[in-house]
Amino acid sequence: MTEFARAAQDALGRLGIELADGGRTVPTPLTGEELVAVPVHARDDVVATIDRATDAWPAWAAIPAPERGQVVRRLGELLREHKDTLADLITLEVGKIASEARGEVQEMIDVCDLAVGLSRQVGGHTFPSERPGHQLLESWHPLGPIAVISAFNFPAAVWSWNVAIALVCGDTIVWKPSERTPLTSLGCAALLSQALSEAGHPNVHQLVLTTQPDDAAPLLDDDRIRLVSATGSTRMGTEVGPRVQRRFGRTLLELGGNNAAIVTPSADLDLAVRGIVFAAAGTAGQRCTTLRRIIAHTSVADELTDRIAAAYDQLVVDNPWRRDDVHVGPLIDEGAYAAMRDAIDRASTEGGKLVTGGDRRDVGPGGCYVGPALATMPAQTDLVREETFAPLLWVLTYSDLDEAITLHNDVPQGLSSSIFTRDVREAGRFTGPLGSDCGIVNVNVGPSGAEVGGAFGGEKATGGGRETGSDAWKAYMRRATTTINHSDELPLAQGVEF
């Protein structure tokens, strides 16, 4: 058994998980070596989990929300207790550096805290009725069984965003994680099962580890699944969205991003460089919020490009396991590198110039390690308008802010965005109604690394969904508008006489 397989086994042991023999093994992106074997679920298993989630729902929905919140509070405690163990699994399966893997678990803890508070707050307004002796109010009720489909890059946090809030809202859940992250998923599911069983509740959360899209299809097609919350590529969303909508199911889609930073002449370049390097090279460029485009004013573009290139040259790209000095771990697989190389090659035929990076690093056999790439482009071509899910940052230039904002918005995606400026007028234009068209709009902060308190998600090809903070909980509940007549008369609305 390799060091990594043993580490995975140890982590699972600490979480009380024992796996039966058989199933499939997953490779670690750290070295390409196989980790432990995990079960593979088929279509019938998926249907059985929908049956169970449906059966469990009425009793769960009847429990008062503050009591459901106590389960989420306990989940948050267990996450604190097992933070390093879960972070190990994330590093083993995704290749994240330790600080980011721990940050991902922290994000889960944060959303549990948020959801516990919500468990005493979700609710509606009352409105003045036009009819005497009448009350007009809205109530929010549990929606039903829901499906959560998550991606490899945030294998635990995105699950928790959905699950912590959905549990408080009174939904039961079937979770289909990425095929690449079954161990992290088993860890999350085990901690939630523990929190539920300690409080005497049945398991209202089901995990399905399918590997074939057809096997998971009942989650999209079964009328009993009231909401499909899916994170992944825009291509996946164009399949999932209409398919669920066809049966009038609800979707919450968090799809691709093509996030930019405008850097204006007044920007603090020290701050901009630091923000840009983390947002573009952090997580090996594999966040949906990763910075993919710089739109720099012509007066600062050369200096900014040189300074980012110098910072890139100092980044440590290596196997992050049990090391704190590594900035950039591996890409998830060879396919990600092929897409990155292809984009760099295409750029050179379109007048693009590679400034630094894009080179394969020799970190032993098996892992796919690359230098984060920085390239200038003479124009925003179709290539730049596509999302390449790798550390590849394009530099474009502009001369006036209207042009920059037009360039900024001229991409299909609309997730996250940023401007670096010290000019309040520029900041105001970017954050105003005709500025950035994204769901997340930052000033002097890169586009990645959002906190859980705000709503997370984006417009256009990003899918329109919102998760975590603000009023994102509404997606997991059903609204009822109620009129109560406590008078002895029956006046009709709009003055109708009958």
Among 288, 387, 438, 467, the one annotated catalytic: 288
Stretch that binds ligand UN1, among 51-59, 70-78, 391-399, 446-454 (CB under 6 A): 446-454
Q: Give which of 47, 14, 9 is closest to 194, Cα–Cα.
A: 14
Active-site annotation holds for 254: yes
Of 231-260, which residues contact ligand UN1 (CB under 6 A)? 231
Which one, 450 or 475, has the nearer CB to ligand UN1? 450
Measured CA angle at 449 (ends 277, 118), to 5 deg? 175
Identified binder of ligand UN1 from the candidate list 158, 165, 228, 280, rule CB under 6 A: 158
Identified binder of ligand UN1 from the candidate list 154, 337, 394, 473, rule CB under 6 A: 154
Burial of 309 (0-12, 13-18, 19+ CB in 10 A): middle
DSSP string for 234-250: HHHHHHHHHHHHHTT-E
> In sequence order, what are the beta bridge partners of 145?
172
Q: What is the nearest approach in angstroms of ligand UN1 to the Cβ of residue 454?
A: 10
Stretch that binds ligand UN1, among 137-145, 301-309, 360-368, 445-453 (CB under 6 A): 445-453
Burial of 86 (0-12, 13-18, 19+ CB in 10 A): buried
DSSP string for 245-277: HHTT-EEEEE----EEEEE-TT--HHHHHHHHH
Q: How far apart are CA 256 and CA 339, in angstroms?
A: 15
Q: Give which of 393, 389, 258, 282 is closest to 336, Cα–Cα.
A: 389
Among 93, 104, 107, 254, the one annotated catalytic: 254
Residue 202 sits at φ, ψ, to 5 deg, of -70, 170
Q: How far apart are CA 375 and CA 394, in angstroms?
A: 5
Identified binder of ligand UN1 from the candidate list 143, 450, 472, 477, rule CB under 6 A: 450
Stretch that binds ligand UN1, among 120-128, 352-360, 391-399, 447-455 (CB under 6 A): 447-455
Q: How far apart are CA 321 and CA 363, in angstroms?
A: 12
Which one, 15 or 240, has the nearer CB to ligand UN1? 240
DSSP string for 132-183: TTEEEEEEEEE--EEEEE--SSSTTHHHHHHHHHHHHHT-EEEEE--TT-HH
Alpha-carbon distances, residue 430 vs 210, 243, 421, 457 (angstroms): 43, 35, 10, 18
Residue 160 within binding range of ligand UN1, rule CB under 6 A: no
Which one, 140 or 389, has the nearer CB to ligand UN1? 389
Q: What is the largest CA-CA distance in the chain?
A: 83
Stretch that binds ligand UN1, among 123-131, 153-161, 179-187, 406-414 (CB under 6 A): 153-161
Lookup: tokens for 96: 């994240």
Is the distance from CB of 447 to CB of 261 less than 8 angstroms? yes
Q: What is the nearest approach in angstroms of ligand UN1 to the Cβ of residue 157?
A: 6
Q: What is the nearest approach in angstroms of ligand UN1 to the Cβ of residue 235?
A: 16
- Binding residues for ligand UN1, how many (CB under 6 A)? 11
Stretch that binds ligand UN1, among 22-30, 39-47, 152-160, 391-399 (CB under 6 A): 152-160
Residue 448 within binding range of ligand UN1, rule CB under 6 A: yes
Which one, 187 or 449, has the nearer CB to ligand UN1? 449
Of 286-305, which residues contact ligand UN1 (CB under 6 A)? 287-289
Q: What is the nearest approach in angstroms of ligand UN1 to the Cβ of residue 450?
A: 3
Which one, 231 or 258, has the nearer CB to ligand UN1? 231
Stretch that binds ligand UN1, among 45-53, 111-119, 211-219, 442-450 (CB under 6 A): 442-450
Give the residue at shortest CB distance from ligand UN1. 450
Pattern 100-129, ligand UN1, x by CB under 6 A = -------x----------------------
Residue 229 within binding range of ligand UN1, rule CB under 6 A: no
Identified binder of ligand UN1 from the candidate list 449, 463, 465, 469, rule CB under 6 A: 449
Q: What is the nearest approach in angstroms of ligand UN1 to the Cβ of residue 360?
A: 24
Q: What is the nearest approach in angstroms of ligand UN1 to the Cβ of residue 289?
A: 4
Q: What is the nearest approach in angstroms of ligand UN1 to the Cβ of residue 419?
A: 17
Q: What is the nearest approach in angstroms of ligand UN1 to the Cβ of residue 251?
A: 16
Is the distance from CB of 159 to CB of 185 less than 8 angstroms? yes
Q: How far apart are CA 198 and CA 71, in angstroms?
A: 9
Is the distance from CB of 405 to CB of 435 less than 8 angstroms? yes
Q: What is the nearest approach in angstroms of ligand UN1 to the Cβ of residue 429?
A: 24
The helix or strand, by DSSP H or E, that contains position 480, with its residue range, turns out to be: strand 477-485
Q: What is the nearest approach in angstroms of ligand UN1 to the Cβ of residue 155?
A: 10
Residue 263 sits at φ, ψ, to 5 deg, of -115, 115
Residue 66 sits at φ, ψ, to 5 deg, of -60, -30
Stretch that binds ligand UN1, among 15-23, 133-141, 208-216, 281-289 (CB under 6 A): 281-289
> In sequence order, what are the beta bridge partners of 181?
none
The site for ligand UN1 (CB under 6 A) is made up of: 107, 153-154, 158, 231, 287-289, 448-450
| Residues labelled catalytic | 254, 288
